[in-house]
Amino acid sequence: MPKPTLESAFAAIAPQPGAMAGAILRLRGRFEEPHRAYHNEAHTLDVLARLYEWTDDPDVSLVAAALYHDAIYDPTRSDNETRSAALSAEELALVGFRPVMIEWTAILIEMTAHHLPSPGVPSQILLSDADLFVLGGTPDEYESYRKAIRAEYAHVPEDAWRTGRARVLARFLERPRIFHGDWVGVAGHEERARGNLACEIDSLTVEG
């Protein structure tokens, strides 16, 4: 399947196609904000690509949640997922989503705040695993991700960054599983992700 675009993703889910152009323009404008080195359109399309790879017909709310889960991204705030969920509700109403679908999309987006999907809820598991998939990338892929995240937090002094980042990564390693689904490639990703996180923690505690 060709790699998705914002246009193709909206076309697959929008009940009112005539309203798509404005929604795409506004979302793309957010993704082009200068502070976004990682949480941008490319990341969103990677998440969508995983969803389409793992399921033939992803739920429309799942696709919408993937589109909007990072719609608002301010590294100085801790409520980005809540604000993104609220924005998705406004935007999806404009393209004709039914209230129940809007509500479920918001729930999916808010789940990405901690990536703790409810057991037995495929949409939550799919979105969480797709969003975190980069953690199990090759060393080069992970290094690119690491540098991009650091760039987004350039305002944080180095010592504070090392302490805070190591704490966040350690919380993932403390979990029984980082990835929760049995999708193609995820089994190997679990081991690689843990190795990548452990290596970064080591570098954060040794450097400086």
Note the Cα 98 to chain centre separation in Å. 24
160 Cβ contact partners less than 8 Å away, ≥ 6 residues apart: none
From first to last of its 208 residues, the chain has per-residue pLDDT tens of: 689 999 999 999 998 888 899 999 999 999 999 999 999 999 999 999 999 999 988 999 999 999 999 999 999 999 999 999 999 999 999 999 999 999 999 999 999 999 999 999 999 999 999 999 999 999 999 999 999 999 999 999 999 999 999 999 999 999 999 999 988 677 788 999 999 999 999 999 985 5
pLDDT score recorded for residue 17: 82
Query: What would the two tokens of residue 149 be?
Result: 């995240």
Q: What does each C-alpha distance from 71 to 17, 136, 181, 195 come to in angstroms?
A: 20, 24, 25, 30
* Long-range contacts from 113-120, C-beta under 8 angstroms, 24+ separation: 113/80, 113/81, 113/82, 117/180, 119/180
pTM across the whole model: 0.96
pLDDT score recorded for residue 185: 73
Q: Which fold has domain 6-206?
A: Catalytic domain of cyclic nucleotide phosphodiesterase 4b2b (1.10.1300)
**Burial grade of 3 (CB within 10 A; 0-12, 13-18, 19 or more):** exposed
pLDDT score recorded for residue 184: 64
Gap between the Cα atoms of 14 and 76, Å rounded: 32
Residue reference for tokens 């129940």 = 100
- The amino acid sitting at 63 is V
Gap between the Cα atoms of 64 and 194, Å rounded: 29
pLDDT score recorded for residue 56: 87
